[in-house]
Amino acid sequence: MAAQEQKGSQQKTLGIIGGMSWESTQVYYRLINEGIKNQLGGLRSADLLIHSMDFAPIGELQAQGRWDELGAIMASSAQRLQSAGAQGLLIATNTMHKVIGDVEAITELPIIHIADATAEVIKQQGLSKIALLGTQFTMTQSFYKQRLIDVGLQVLIPEPEACAEVHRIIYEELCHGQVLDSSREYYCQVIKDLAAKGAEGVILGCTEIGLLIKQADSPIPVFDTTAIHAAAAVEFLLKQI
């Protein structure tokens, strides 16, 4: 117990920019705390500061392509968390990593990048061709895919019509807590189609998709970015200063 007490006292404080959506932020909270408990035992839990945002206006700005304003919002959140004592930051959403540069410009705190953490796990498994599911922004724009490509991964995404439906299910269902069997079947078919094109695994590149798709639903390995990101958060919290 004494060793655990000492180890626990060295835990860092992590700031989480969340609420996008709260459905996935609560999964982060559970997974990170479970990870700390598994490492430290007893009544241990994570040293976290969470700024849970109102997702509605953010979703509207995303749809309107007003990324400069979104960057300012994320930077403001980072400043608040830093002022509250955060020693590192995590953005609990794949899509909003599009504006991570705005956050990096406003703070010198380390930021746990979700794509980097995911790419590391994929590379450890020796895969080279990976499917990516997420919002339209994540699937079709370079801010996320390029980080995967830069470490030697080939990235496959669905056809345009399928991209649109994958995106719709995220915003109109999963972000509202609706997990429908019909949507699970649709995603499963999309994954099968990408596997037929050579995908060796699939990234669940939106933090809500893990609510819908599990490993049992996929013929190829599933990389749940929420779980991977949360594991990276646990590693950060326990890494000695």
Catalytic residues: 93, 206
Q: Which of 62, 52, 9, 11 is nearest to 32 (CA)?
A: 11
Tokens for 21, please give them: 């959506």
CA dihedral 58, 49, 121, 210 (to 10 degrees): -50
Cα–Cα dist 73/111, whole Å: 16
DSSP labels for 2-27?
A: HHHHHHHHT---EEEEE-TTHHHHHH
Report d(CA 90, CA 79) in Å as an integer. 13
Instruction: Please state, in angstroms and rounded to a whole number, the distance separating the CA atoms of residues 136 and 143.
Output: 12
Distance separating alpha carbons of residues 127 and 148, to the nearest angstrom: 12
Cα Rg, the chain, nearest whole Å: 18
DSSP 88: E
Tokens at residue 64, please? 């309107």
